[in-house]
């Protein structure tokens, strides 16, 4: 007993001491120690703990191409995380390093926690050289607060991007902040790479889809007008036994204004002849609600649409088992997924045009990517951490992304490895098109090319069968929709941003509640005017005014 | 015994210094990692912007507190947070105790161990997965409604009915935490002197009387501590499960302070606002804690301090 | 007499049935996940309702999960964080709880109040991050261990169990002239064995499940624990998460990805489930009483 006790005692004592010592040590150690990851200078190449460079990296006088190291903070796509730990595992960046001699320390936040990590990084003022993430209150605030450095006076080091900006006034507008700065480096969706030459370019990536095999069986044409849709949905309900003929998004309205746009209004902010409007308070929206309310009561919608999880598995289950026959809003890259789920090919989901009120109507609202892509991981910003003597090297390295060779590299990978030229056009090898490790295209293209990112992006740089499938959906969706009323990527002015976001949180909560209540019949449509009044009370008119200011400045650039 | 505070403290230190030495690692931990960063609380009174830093951001006084109280749904948020916690207190607190007591009555050790091990499994399933299951099972064509229809009931969309949100939230919470929550009571029950049961058996006490007069008093302290802690959290509630389960139809009962702040943050990262709301919660929680501790001391002679 | 005997005979049966039901309710979701992880993806996607066994059979989900380079390193890291973290936490918490449970120490109560205060008022994430950074702990495994060293709730539970130990035992030790350390190691620690087992479980499971601190304080993916990797996989297809990085190109035609989610939950959960049966023997009645008397 005593022996056991003394042994236990000494263990406990040891453990306590060890902890006390470690605590004391950690409390005393100075910030300048080696283990402080962020303060290590950028000249230390690829050491696992050195990550971001600091402002005072005075030893960085070497010109580009000779052992320069650039630190680069960029979110990791969830598909990329399946095959890489770091973008240096991507063959394009290995090739780029061979070409330029510049090593990059990639810093990737955990997938799904980007915003938190970003805020901590910025708050601690330990910035890398380049950040691929939008400042929460806009690029102008970031420039005012001395976090991002605009490229205004550095464009001489970015000749390739300058050429792109000069080539298209729309690109110039989108590259310029409200305060007139050039914010950074963008992902360019040039019209010639999109199969579409719209005003802000770009292919719609979302639209409606239906069970094409049912249409055939029921001898129906692909629906165009809302009346066609009604006939079709009733047939699905009565003859195919669908319990939820139409899948409506959880919020009761499509973010891409599908169905809403048939009534001439948008699901959110949109513009008409340069004048900003807010869809849910326009009379057309009442008609939309009336229609959905009618369909809901007729059993044409999923009775639980507002409660269900909005993930693709759920929709796939409904479409392929025959519980549903159509979906309000889906994406061009998911349509093939639905089709792959039918056992023995017994079924087919196909895109149909955006619904209209009267046959032959032209729509002006729908899904649209701007010519300079928005979103995190699509826009790169230069930070103020880059010292003056390194500016040229960093900018020139980054501008190198926009050369013809790099465009091929990012879109297709390395010639002879991931693609070959056949009849003057690049064709993927099996490494991407039919990966030996069984990687899907959307996964393998994070390893052998860059799936997407701030380079000259070619939406159709994909294996042939995918091109066909994508184009089938996209060409259908643009057939009756020019999307000219869609808001361009303008920003609410910095000084109004906080108030705007406060107003919109309240507005969104309230309208989510009311729109669902109208559709599900909990709230009679006679109360629509009261709903609009309440929106006004919550300050929606001010929000519209701020959006208008942003749009006006955007148009003036 | 009317010595001054300082001399008494001095004497205490001289006598107890070996004891205090044992607590040094813990005290250092709290000083460095809990009190060290506490100055950060001031961002509730500032307009924090990551670029300007905590010290550099401008002071705005009580602006964020006012903004919260002026928001349209402020009182509904407070009510919902409080109500869900009240459900948790009324049903979630006794459930693991009852479970532990029932488990304690099992005689077959293998069965007992199996039930115990199995019961804490739900605790380990990620919330994302759990909520996905809840949504699927409560649909009109889901398992729950299939059962109701089997017994001749009417199918309902549970997750679209504001009246059902709190019960479903509480029931699934109890289910997920039942086994895990009971561990602490099971451990406490093992501390009860077996002699007491033997004596009671000789006195002819039945199962219920033993449970009521020996087991329950034996775990009184543990129950009291758990109760005090729960009351001290009446104003806080994690947002993750809420946002995975609610929808526009159930906002009126489901939207709580934290989910609202979360949505606020989505529009624009608003550290100051959430910090102000957090501070407000903390103050209310602390007051509740002090009251609960007082009550517990009077009723059970157990307190946290 | 008859009335008192009847419930006695029915109760064990009733109790058994109730607990069986509870057990089934708790077991089933886990079984569902295991079944789903082994099913054919096309069939599991179409399936609704209860699942009574795998639909078809495939290990592809697990193969795919382990193809992810982060899963294995995640495993090793998690084991490190659990082992080292739990040992350190246990030692510091047990000692701290002992000190704060002393009624004759004047500082015990102020210390406790100071600790409870921190449950309600913390500085928030940014100052803590800056502190860890300035201590030179950023991106070190040490940061994870130290920041999560003491869980106040666990400390309170431990302290409460010490408070329940009869003073008489301690007084006899005092008469023998034992030092506080000796009282702690020879009376309190052995007496609170079930509580120590509970604490091991609480800290162990806490460390196993934690990911937030790791997310904040680690930069190298090579140091990520399993839970963080699992989270990344679980939320990847969730369209309600607002990371617009993932709005395009998230969907693969690779149906087996559906299985990966289930497989990863199984991979990340099974090992920790096995800990409980090991610790359970400390929860068996009588162990403690016997230990004192022996």
User: Any idea where the domains of chain C sit in the sequence?
Assistant: 59-287
Tokens of A117: 């990590």
Q: How many CB atoms lie within 10 A of CB A387?
A: 18
Contact A360, A175 (CB under 8 A): no
CATH tag for A63-195+372-458 (out of 3.90.45.10, 3.40.50.1100, 3.40.190.10, 2.120.10.80)? 3.40.190.10
Q: What is the pTM of this model?
A: 0.84
pLDDT tens digits, one per residue of A308-325: 766 667 788 888 888 899
A421 in contact with chain C, both atoms CB, cutoff 8 A = no
Kindly state the DSSP code that residue A182 receives in the 8-state scheme: B
> Where do we find the tokens 């007496």?
C191
Distance from CA of B158 to the nearest CA of A (A): 9
Question: Tell me, what's the pLDDT at A7?
Answer: 45
Question: Tell me, what's the pLDDT at C252?
Answer: 55
Say which of B157, B244, B251 has its CB closest to residue A304: B157
CA distances from A453 to A331, B45, C171 (A): 19, 39, 72
- With H, G, I as helix, E, B as strand and everything else as coil, classify residue A539: coil
Is the Cβ pair C126, A119 closer than 8 Å?
yes
CB contact set of C79 (below 8 Å; sequence gap of 6+)? none
B127 in contact with chain A, both atoms CB, cutoff 8 A = no
B139 in contact with chain A, both atoms CB, cutoff 8 A = yes
Question: Tell me, what's the pLDDT at C236?
Answer: 64
Tokens of A361: 């109507």
Contact A304, A296 (CB under 8 A): no
Chains A & C: contacts with CB separation below 8 Å:
211
pLDDT tens digits, one per residue of A414-446: 999 999 999 888 999 998 888 888 788 888 888
CA distances from C160 to B184, B218, C238 (A): 11, 13, 42
Is the Cβ pair B23, C118 closer than 8 Å?
no
Question: Tell me, what's the pLDDT at C8?
Answer: 53
Phi, psi of A167 (to 5 degrees): -75, -15
Q: How confident is the model at residue B300 (pLDDT cuts 50, 70, 90)?
A: confident
Is the Cβ pair C265, B34 closer than 8 Å?
no
Q: How many CB atoms lie within 10 A of CB A359?
A: 9
Q: What percent of chain C has pLDDT over 90?
A: 24
Question: Tell me, what's the pLDDT at A236?
Answer: 94
Partners for B (CB, 8 Å, 3+ pairs)? A, C
CATH tag for A206-367+481-556 (out of 3.30.450.30, 3.40.190.10, 3.40.50.300, 3.40.50.1980)? 3.40.190.10
Which residues of chain A are in CATH 3.40.190.10 domains?
Answer: 63-195+372-458, 206-367+481-556
Per-residue 3-state assignment (H helix, E strand, C coil) for A208-260:
EEEEHHHHHHCCCCCCCEHHHHHHHHHHHHHHCCCCCCEECCCCCCCCCCCCH
Is the Cβ pair A505, B264 closer than 8 Å?
yes
C-chain residue closest to B177, CA distance: C26
CA B272 to centroid of chain Cα atoms: 25
Cα–Cα distance between C130 and C109 in angstroms, integer? 31
When pLDDT is averaged across residues C5-16 and rounded to a whole number, the result is 72
Is the Cβ pair C92, A78 closer than 8 Å?
no
Contact B123, B176 (CB under 8 A): yes
Say which of A111, A120, A451 has its CB closest to residue C232: A111
Say which of B190, B207, B305 has its CB closest to residue C8: B207
Distance from CA of A181 to the nearest CA of B (A): 18
Longest CA pairwise span in chain B (Å): 78
When pLDDT is averaged across residues B168-185 and rounded to a whole number, the result is 91
Q: Which residues of C touch B275 (CB under 8 A)?
A: 124
Cα–Cα distance between A278 and C30 in angstroms, integer? 46
Question: Is the model more confident about C68 or about A248?
Answer: A248
B-chain residue closest to C89, CA distance: B26
When pLDDT is averaged across residues C244-260 and rounded to a whole number, the result is 58
CA B269 to centroid of chain Cα atoms: 26
B-chain residue closest to C179, CA distance: B18
Is the Cβ pair C22, B115 closer than 8 Å?
yes
pLDDT tens digits, one per residue of C23-43: 998 998 889 889 988 988 878
Q: How confident is the model at residue C281 (pLDDT cuts 50, 70, 90)?
A: confident
CB contact set of B36 (below 8 Å; sequence gap of 6+)? C123, C127, C128, C131
Question: Tell me, what's the pLDDT at A32?
Answer: 35
Contact A382, A151 (CB under 8 A): yes
Is the Cβ pair B252, A513 closer than 8 Å?
yes
Question: Is the model more confident about A285 or about C259?
Answer: A285
* Mean pLDDT over the full length of chain C: 80
Is the Cβ pair A337, C251 closer than 8 Å?
yes
Distance from CA of B264 to the nearest CA of A (A): 6
Distance from CA of B76 to the nearest CA of C (A): 23
Q: What percent of chain C has pLDDT over 70?
A: 84
Q: How many CB atoms lie within 10 A of CB A271?
A: 21
A-chain residue closest to B253, CA distance: A513
- Domains detected in chain B: 1-61 (no CATH), 71-299 (1.10.3720.10)
B173 in contact with chain A, both atoms CB, cutoff 8 A = no
Question: Tell me, what's the pLDDT at A530?
Answer: 95
Which residues partner with A131 through β-bridges?
A73, A381
In the predicted structure, residue C92 carries a pLDDT above the cut 60: yes
C-chain residue closest to A11, CA distance: C91
Fold of C59-287: MetI-like fold (1.10.3720)
Q: How confident is the model at residue B266 (pLDDT cuts 50, 70, 90)?
A: low
Is the Cβ pair A308, B248 closer than 8 Å?
no
Chains B & C: contacts with CB separation below 8 Å:
258
Q: Which residues of B touch C16 (CB under 8 A)?
A: 106, 111
Q: pLDDT digit of tens for each residue in chain A (557 aa)?
A: 344 444 444 444 444 444 444 444 343 333 333 333 333 333 333 333 333 333 333 334 344 445 789 999 999 888 888 888 889 999 999 999 999 999 999 999 888 788 888 888 888 888 999 999 998 878 888 998 899 999 999 999 999 999 999 998 889 999 999 889 999 999 998 877 776 544 444 567 789 999 999 999 999 999 999 999 999 999 999 999 998 899 998 888 888 899 999 999 999 999 999 999 999 999 999 999 999 999 999 999 988 888 876 666 778 888 888 889 999 888 877 787 788 777 777 888 999 999 999 998 999 998 888 888 888 888 999 999 999 999 999 999 999 999 999 999 999 999 999 999 998 889 999 988 888 887 888 888 889 999 888 999 888 888 888 888 888 888 888 888 888 898 988 888 888 888 888 899 889 989 999 999 999 999 999 999 999 999 999 999 999 999 999 999 999 88
Q: How many CB atoms lie within 10 A of CB B5?
A: 8
Q: Which residues of B touch A509 (CB under 8 A)?
A: 72-73, 251, 255, 260, 263
Phi, psi of B59 (to 5 degrees): -75, 140
ipTM score: 0.85
Tokens of A528: 């629509």
């Amino acid at each position: 007993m005593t022996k056991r006790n003394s042994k236990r005692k000494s263990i406990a004592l040891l453990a306590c001491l060890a902890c006390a010592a470690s605590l004391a040590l950690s409390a005393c150690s100075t910030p300048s120690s080696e283990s402080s990851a962020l303060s290590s200078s950028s000249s230390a190449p690829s050491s696992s703990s050195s990550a971001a460079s600091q402002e005072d990296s005075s030893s960085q006088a070497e010109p580009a191409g000779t052992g320069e190291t650039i630190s680069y903070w960029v979110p990791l796509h969830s598909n990329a995380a399946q095959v890489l730990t770091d973008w240096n595992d991507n063959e394009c960046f290995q090739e780029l390093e061979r070409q330029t001699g510049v090593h990059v320390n990639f810093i990737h936040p955990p997938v799904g926690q980007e915003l938190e990590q970003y805020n901590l990084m910025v708050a601690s003022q330990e910035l890398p050289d380049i950040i691929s993430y939008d400042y929460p209150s806009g690029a102008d605030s970031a420039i005012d607060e001395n976090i991002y450095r605009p490229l205004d006076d550095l464009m001489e080091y970015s000749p390739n991007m300058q050429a792109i900006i000069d080539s298209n006034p729309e690109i110039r507008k989108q590259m310029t902040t409200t305060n007139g700065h050039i914010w950074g480096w963008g992902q360019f969706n040039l019209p010639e790479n999109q199969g579409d030459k719209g005003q802000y370019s770009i292919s719609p990536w979302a639209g409606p889809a239906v069970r094409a095999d049912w249409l055939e069986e029921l001898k129906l044409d692909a629906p165009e007008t809302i009346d066609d849709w009604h006939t079709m949905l009733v047939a699905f309900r009565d003859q195919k036994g669908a319990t939820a003929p139409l899948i409506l998004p959880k919020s009761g309205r499509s973010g891409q204004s599908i169905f809403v746009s048939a009534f001439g209004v948008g699901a959110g902010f949109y513009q008409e002849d340069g004048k900003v409007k807010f869809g849910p308070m326009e009379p057309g929206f009442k008609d939309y609600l009336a229609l959905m309310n009618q369909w809901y009561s007729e059993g044409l919608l999923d009775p639980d649409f507002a409660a269900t999880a909005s993930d693709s598995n759920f929709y796939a289950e409904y479409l392929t088992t025959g519980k549903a026959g159509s979906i309000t809003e889906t994406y061009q890259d998911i349509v093939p997924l639905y089709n792959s789920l039918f056992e023995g090919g017994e079924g087919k989901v196909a895109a149909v045009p955006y619904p209209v009120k009267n046959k032959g109507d032209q729509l002006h609202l729908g899904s649209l990517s701007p010519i300079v892509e928005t979103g995190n991981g699509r826009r790169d910003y230069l930070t103020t951490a880059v010292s003056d003597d390194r500016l040229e090297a960093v900018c020139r390295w980054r501008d190198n992304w926009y050369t013809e060779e790099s465009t091929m590299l990012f879109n297709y990978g390395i010639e002879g490895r991931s693609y070959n030229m056949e009849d003057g056009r690049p064709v993927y090898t099996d490494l991407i098109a039919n990966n030996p490790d069984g990687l899907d295209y959307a996964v393998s293209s994070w390893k052998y090319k860059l799936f997407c990112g701030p380079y000259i992006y070619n939406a159709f740089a994909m294996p042939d069968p995918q091109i066909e499938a994508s184009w089938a959906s996209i060409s259908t969706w643009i057939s009756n929709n020019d999307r000219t009323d869609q808001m361009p990527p303008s920003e609410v002015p910095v000084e109004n941003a906080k108030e705007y976001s406060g107003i919109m949180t309240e507005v969104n909560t309230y309208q989510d509640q009311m729109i669902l209540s109208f559709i599900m019949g909990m709230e009679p449509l006679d109360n629509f005017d009261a709903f609009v009044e309440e929106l006004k009370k919550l300050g929606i008119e001010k929000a519209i005014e701020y959006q208008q200011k942003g749009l006006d400045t955007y148009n003036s650039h | 015994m009317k010595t001054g505070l300082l001399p008494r403290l001095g004497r205490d230190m001289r006598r107890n210094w070996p004891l205090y030495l044992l607590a040094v690692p813990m005290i250092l931990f709290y000083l460095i990692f809990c009190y060290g960063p506490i100055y950060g609380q001031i961002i509730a009174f500032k307009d924090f912007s990551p670029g300007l830093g905590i010290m550099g951001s401008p002071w705005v006084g009580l602006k964020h507190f006012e903004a919260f109280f002026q928001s349209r749904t402020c009182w509904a948020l407070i009510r919902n947070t409080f109500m869900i916690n009240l459900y948790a207190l009324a049903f979630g607190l006794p459930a693991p105790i009852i479970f532990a007591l029932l488990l304690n009555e099992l005689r077959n050790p293998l069965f007992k161990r199996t039930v115990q091990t199995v019961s804490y499994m739900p605790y380990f399933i990620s919330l994302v997965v759990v909520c996905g299951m809840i949504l699927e099972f409560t649909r009109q064509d889901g398992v729950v409604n299939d059962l109701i229809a089997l017994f001749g009931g009417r199918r309902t969309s549970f997750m679209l009915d504001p009246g059902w949100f709190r019960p479903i939230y509480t029931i699934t919470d109890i289910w997920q935490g039942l086994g895990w929550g009971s561990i602490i009571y099971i451990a406490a029950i093992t501390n009860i002197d077996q002699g007491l049961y033997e004596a009671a058996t000789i006195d002819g006490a039945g199962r219920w009387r033993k449970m009521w007069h020996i087991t329950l008093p034996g775990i009184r302290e543990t129950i009291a501590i758990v109760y005090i802690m729960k009351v001290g959290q009446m104003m806080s509630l994690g947002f993750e499960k809420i946002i995975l389960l609610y929808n526009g139809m159930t906002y009126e009962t489901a939207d709580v302070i934290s989910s609202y702040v979360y949505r606020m943050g989505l529009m624009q990262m608003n550290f100051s606002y959430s910090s102000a709301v957090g501070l407000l919660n903390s103050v209310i929680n602390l007051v509740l804690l002090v009251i609960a501790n007082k009550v517990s001391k009077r009723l059970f002679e157990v307190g946290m301090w | 007499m008859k009335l008192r005997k009847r419930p006695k005979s029915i109760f064990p049966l009733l109790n058994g049935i109730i607990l069986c039901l509870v057990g089934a309710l708790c077991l089933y979701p886990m079984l569902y996940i295991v079944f789903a992880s082994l099913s054919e993806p096309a069939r599991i996607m179409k399936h609704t309702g209860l699942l009574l066994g795998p639909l078809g059979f495939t290990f592809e989900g697990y193969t795919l999960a382990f193809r992810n380079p982060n899963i294995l390193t995640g495993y090793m890291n998690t084991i490190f964080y659990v082992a080292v973290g739990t040992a350190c936490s246990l030692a510091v918490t047990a000692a701290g709880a002992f000190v704060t449970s002393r009624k004759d120490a004047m500082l015990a109560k102020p210390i406790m109040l100071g600790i409870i205060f921190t449950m309600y008022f913390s500085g928030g994430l940014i100052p803590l991050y800056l502190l860890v950074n300035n201590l030179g702990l950023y991106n070190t495994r040490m940061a994870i261990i130290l920041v999560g060293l003491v869980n106040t709730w666990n400390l309170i539970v431990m302290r409460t169990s010490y408070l329940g130990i009869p003073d008489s035992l301690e007084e006899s030790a005092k008469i023998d002239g034992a030092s506080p350390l000796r009282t702690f190691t020879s009376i309190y620690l052995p007496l609170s064995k079930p509580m120590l087992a509970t604490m091991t479980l609480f800290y162990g499971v806490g460390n196993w499940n934690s990911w937030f601190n790791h997310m904040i304080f680690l930069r190298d993916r090579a140091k990520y624990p399993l839970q963080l990797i699992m989270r990344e996989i679980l939320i990847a297809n969730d369209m309600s998460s607002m990371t617009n990085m993932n709005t395009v190109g998230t969907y693969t035609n690779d149906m087996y990805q559906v299985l990966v989610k289930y497989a990863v939950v199984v991979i990340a959960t099974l090992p920790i489930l096995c800990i409980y049966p090991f610790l359970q023997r400390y929860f068996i009645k009588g162990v403690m009483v016997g230990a004192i008397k022996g």
